[in-house]
Structure 1
Amino acid sequence: MLGIMNHNEEWLWCISGKHPVAKDYFSLGAENPLFKAFSDWAGNGYMKWLTQSNRGVSRNSWRFWAKGSKKNQLICGIVKDSGDQFGRLYPLLIMGSGSLKDWESQWDLLPLALDNIWEKMEYLSINRRLSNLKQLEEEILQLQGPSNDWPAWKALQEQSYPMMHGHLYETLSKGLNDFWKSSDCLIALNNHFLSEPLKITETYHALLKDRLPIVPNTVFMGGVPETTRIGIFGRALAPEDFVKLWSPETTSLIGRF
């Protein structure tokens, strides 16, 4: 990674890829092996996706969280389709890593705890008012790590349960029974049926945690505007996983231990 960016509240941040304020690919952020691993994964996966004959036009945007390399270390970020000033396409990755006490036992609440950070990242990813990379870097430096106010997040999670239509809740529960032994799965939610599909991923986290004996390595939420999907990985990511995330028609089980 090029450059060093300061951290706040024990969280480090980085950004890499292409952005409308940049003339080409760039990379700014902390010198961190985890950041480099995700950046390499996105780059190698995108190159592999470009070889697909049926790839079509891509409009993907994904939120994600992942395990760090030690207890209480959490990674969160977004990866999405983007391009530089000249319209040349390439994914943009914005991510952070730091300590969040006890998150491993509360991981079903992460969509709530991280929502504000994801929203800020998504805004920065499309902000054309920035005049140069220096301004973008300054904005990234303003990001703050999440709060571990688990009782508050739990209360919000419980408020979201009434949003779930009964048969949808039942369908998701049955799906989890099918997938809980898998190392990775990718499930689609029908955006035409759901008014706030990303909110359903919060409840899906609760359902998943009830049935999984382990903490997933990485969870993705997002996709294309027509279809929101959730991807759960219990193993290290491979470039092929990027291809599947970037292919909206891939909505079924994609692997087993």
Structure 2
Amino acid sequence: MLGLGKSHKSWKWSVYGKHPCARDYVTIGEEDVVSQAFFRWIEAGYEGLGPEVKKRNTVYSWRFWAKTPKDEIIIVGLLKDSCDAIGRPYPLMMIGAGTLSDWQKQWHLLPWACEGTWMQMEKASSRRYADTTQFKEELALMRPPKPEWESCQRQAEMLASDSPKNDMFPHIKQNAEALSLQSEIIVPLDQQRGESISSLICLWHILMRNYTNTAPNAVFMGGEGEQVFLAVFARALGPRDFVELWASSKIKE
């Protein structure tokens, strides 16, 4: 479902959905084929949600990355529950698309490379703005992921060697193999193994890379509160996937 018009060296940033800085839907930044495809995905998926999900008080938030038909271009984004100035709920998406050298070979290191960008998105999306102009100014300050793969690899090796993860190998291998057969996996991240959520996300990326060389089409990391999930898609995203992410409390391992 995702496409590109042409390759650009610079990153493009855009926002779509609802935010308290406006009384209705907002579209901020540089729209292109990539962002428009994701925005349509939200619209189609949100229409498929039941009224009880739309009216809930919980806040879901998902970090994600996704590939495009252009090998050198990657998508990095944030998708979260939000509302307009009147309080009407609707998701908010912040998305960046641009070049990230060698990411297809280093996709297992993306949690480290993208951490700064995701943190900046989360802060920007949570701030109070007087109007959309202030949000646009904040969007202009976004920093793309850093392809510092050697540093990321060192961090990955340290995490892998220091983590009490031996009992995770069969579990992750089973799900990685299932991905090749089912084209998707959605699993809860269990903190009882002695790891933080961020460490578990990194470990899953590292160990999945051992069982599959090809980068997935999209990876979502998040959920609500202590209910955190990893969703990996080896196919194009569809409206059903949005519905499943937004009702992830019903997801079973």
- TM-score when scaled to structure 2? 0.89
What is the alpha-carbon distance in structure 1 between the residues aligned to residue 237 and residue 177 of structure 2? 23
Q: Which sits farther off after the overlay, 211-220 or 188-197?
A: 188-197
What is the alpha-carbon distance in structure 1 between the residues aligned to residue 53 and residue 80 of structure 2? 20
What is the alpha-carbon distance in structure 2 between the residues aligned to residue 11 and residue 53 of structure 1? 34
**SS across alignment from 1:22:** coil
Conserved 8 A contact 1:198-1:228: no
**How much does 1:109 deviate?**
0.5
- Map 1:30-49 to 2 at 5 A: 30-49=30-49
Q: What do residues 177-212 of structure 1 show as CA deviations (whole Å, max 9, x unaligned)?
A: 444432111111134655521321111011111112
Aligned identity (percent) is: 32
CA gap of 1:45–1:88, structure 2 versus 1, over 3 A, is same
**Paired position in structure 2 for 1:16:** 16
Conserved 8 A contact 2:164-2:194: no
RMSD after superposition: 2.2
Q: Which runs of 4+ in 1 moved over 2 A?
A: 50-58, 163-182, 190-195
1:138 and 2:137 correspond? yes
Conserved 8 A contact 2:172-2:208: no
Conserved 8 A contact 2:163-2:195: no
Conserved 8 A contact 2:15-2:29: yes
**How much does 1:53 deviate?**
7.5
**Paired position in structure 2 for 1:250:** 251
**Paired position in structure 2 for 1:78:** 78
**How much does 1:52 deviate?**
6.6
**Paired position in structure 2 for 1:225:** 225
Amino acid at match of 2:251: T
**Paired position in structure 2 for 1:4:** none
**Paired position in structure 1 for 2:3:** none
CA gap of 1:63–1:53, structure 2 versus 1, over 3 A, is closer
Conserved 8 A contact 1:191-1:228: no
Amino acid at match of 1:121: M
Q: What do residues 113-154 of structure 1 show as CA deviations (whole Å, max 9, x unaligned)?
A: 0000000101111112x2211111011111122221110111
**SS across alignment from 2:98:** strand
**How much does 1:56 deviate?**
4.8
**How much does 1:9 deviate?**
6.5
Conserved 8 A contact 2:186-2:230: yes
What is the alpha-carbon distance in structure 1 between the residues aligned to residue 194 and residue 238 of structure 2? 31
What is the alpha-carbon distance in structure 2 between the residues aligned to residue 70 and residue 227 of structure 1? 34
**SS across alignment from 2:133:** helix
Q: Which sits farther off after the overlay, 105-114 or 166-175?
A: 166-175
**SS across alignment from 1:167:** helix
What is the alpha-carbon distance in structure 2 between the residues aligned to residue 78 and residue 138 of structure 1? 18
What is the alpha-carbon distance in structure 2 between the residues aligned to residue 212 and residue 38 of structure 1? 26
**Number of residue pairs matched?**
244
Amino acid at match of 1:59: V
Conserved 8 A contact 2:64-2:220: yes
Conserved 8 A contact 1:66-1:217: yes
Structure 1, unaligned stretches of length 5 or more? 1-7, 253-257
What is the alpha-carbon distance in structure 1 between the residues aligned to residue 236 and residue 154 of structure 2? 32
- Map 1:137-176 to 2 at 5 A: 137-161=136-160, 162-176=162-176
**How much does 1:57 deviate?**
4.2
CA gap of 1:18–1:189, structure 2 versus 1, over 3 A, is same
What is the alpha-carbon distance in structure 2 between the residues aligned to residue 135 and residue 23 of structure 1? 15
